Amino acid sequence: MAILYQDTKYEGVHDRIAHTAEHAFIGALQKILGQTLQVRKVEHKKSGNTAFIIISDLELQTVLDAQENVNELIEQGRNITERKFGSIEDAINAYPLLRANKARISGEVRVVEIENHDVAACALEHAGTLRECEFFLVTRLSKNGSEYEVDFLVGKPAKDAARSLSARFMRLCIELGANINTVENTAMKLKGEADTLRQKLKSVSLEKLAAIVPGKIGKFTLLKGVFSNLDDDQIVEFAGERTDDENVLVLIANVGPEIARVVFARNEKSSDLDCSELFKQVVRADGRGGGKPHFVTGVIKREALDRLMNEMTEEIVKSA
């Protein structure tokens, strides 16, 4: 998923202008991709506009190239014409490359053509020329199942969003110690370093967790430990793997600067303990948590952690 800009305070633009720009955008994408696209629907809301495009893959650079093309067409002021046909078949005969949702069309068809660019069947209102759109800006690209969602702004909201985005970009450059020409490489370098550190943290976490000495409490084998700044995902994964054994309980706390994250789990098939209810009972007002009867995660204040771990152990002893 690629998010370019998603925090706009504007209430969108007139649907007529936005829908016209969407036609130009889809036409630009089609030319770049060399294929006819199916647009399932277009939404126009106060926060902006969204085109839902059914396509297996849509890269960010392709979207940016199409955005550039649309703004070139706006500067050229491409004319927009409309023609009516008695049926979708007549329209396709006149325009073999017509973009249309045939399943939703019956009877008379209106065809909207952007001069030497795009031809689509559409019943909505459109601008007279692309120049009325002023400026086109894609604000978000994301994939949802078999389709892509492209958010965009047109006109004054697009211009104001672009200025806001530019300001954020410059502040980001300062924070990263980069300039406009090096910020992408700097970000990629920092991401690489973060990934390396994350892998090291995972390795250390696995080593620490594997070193837990099991304790025997009645029929239970308890894997209990208190650690600092381990990888939370590795703890959850560790608990899931170890509780494959029907008699194993896992109680692990991972201490951070202000709070500790706690994982308490048992085998899913065992019904001796309701981990979620027990955790809520013991944590009281010092934290919060939830999950399933066999697997709960939660947080607690650091100063209350010892009490929680001791009382949880006591309750386990009672159940054993």
Q: Are residues 216 and 106 in the same domain?
A: no
Q: Are residues 238 and 107 in the same domain?
A: no
Q: Are residues 9 and 146 in the same domain?
A: yes
Q: Are residues 14 and 90 in the same domain?
A: yes
Q: Are residues 156 and 276 in the same domain?
A: no
Domain boundary, last residue among 159, 176, 193: 176
Residue 202 lies in a domain: no
Residue 237 DSSP symbol: H
Q: How far is it, in rounded angstroms, from Cα 15 to Cα 7? A: 20
Domain boundary, last residue among 129, 155, 176: 176
Residue 33 DSSP symbol: H
Answer whether 247's CB lies under 8 Å from 223's CB.
no
Strands (E), the chain: 2-3, 38-45, 48-54, 80-85, 109-114, 118-121, 136-144, 147-154, 215-217, 220-228, 248-255, 259-265, 287-292, 295-301
Q: In which band, very low, low, confident or very high, does the pLDDT at 14 lie, cut at 50, 70 and 90?
A: low
Packing angle of the helix pair 156-176, 183-210 (nearest 10 deg): 60
Q: Are residues 159 and 248 in the same domain?
A: no
Residue 187 lies in a domain: no
Q: How many domains does the chain have?
A: 2
Residue 225 lies in a domain: yes
The percentage of residues in the chain with a pLDDT greater than 70, rounded to a whole number, is: 96
Q: What CATH number has the domain bearing residue 312?
A: 3.10.310.40
Residue 304 DSSP symbol: G
Q: Are residues 168 and 19 in the same domain?
A: yes
Residue 102 lies in a domain: yes
Model confidence over 218-229: pLDDT tens digits?
A: 889 999 999 999
Answer whether 83's CB lies under 8 Å from 110's CB.
yes
Domain boundary, last residue among 153, 176, 199: 176
Residue 20 has pLDDT above 90, yes or no: yes
Q: Are residues 229 and 102 in the same domain?
A: no
Q: Are residues 6 and 100 in the same domain?
A: yes
Residue 303 has pLDDT above 90, yes or no: yes
Q: What value does the mean pLDDT take over residues 99-113?
A: 84
Q: Are residues 24 and 154 in the same domain?
A: yes
Residue 181 lies in a domain: no
Q: Are residues 83 and 218 in the same domain?
A: no
Residue 212 has pLDDT above 90, yes or no: yes
Query: In the numeric block, which tokens belong to residue 227?
Result: 């650690």
Residues 6 or more apart from 41 whose CB is under 8 A from it? 52
Residue 1 has pLDDT above 50, yes or no: no
Residue 264 CA, chain-centre distance (Å), reads 29
The domain of 13 spans 2-176
Q: What CATH number has the domain bearing residue 67?
A: 3.30.980.10
Residue 289 lies in a domain: yes
- The predicted model scores a pTM of 0.72
Query: In the numeric block, which tokens belong to residue 162?
Result: 């672009």
Q: In which band, very low, low, confident or very high, does the pLDDT at 10 lie, cut at 50, 70 and 90?
A: very low
Residue 195 lies in a domain: no
Residue 152 lies in a domain: yes
Q: Are residues 312 and 214 in the same domain?
A: yes
Model confidence over 137-185: pLDDT tens digits?
A: 999 999 998 899 999 999 999 999 999 999 999 999 999 999 999 999 9
Which residues are registered as beta bridge partners of 152? 49, 138
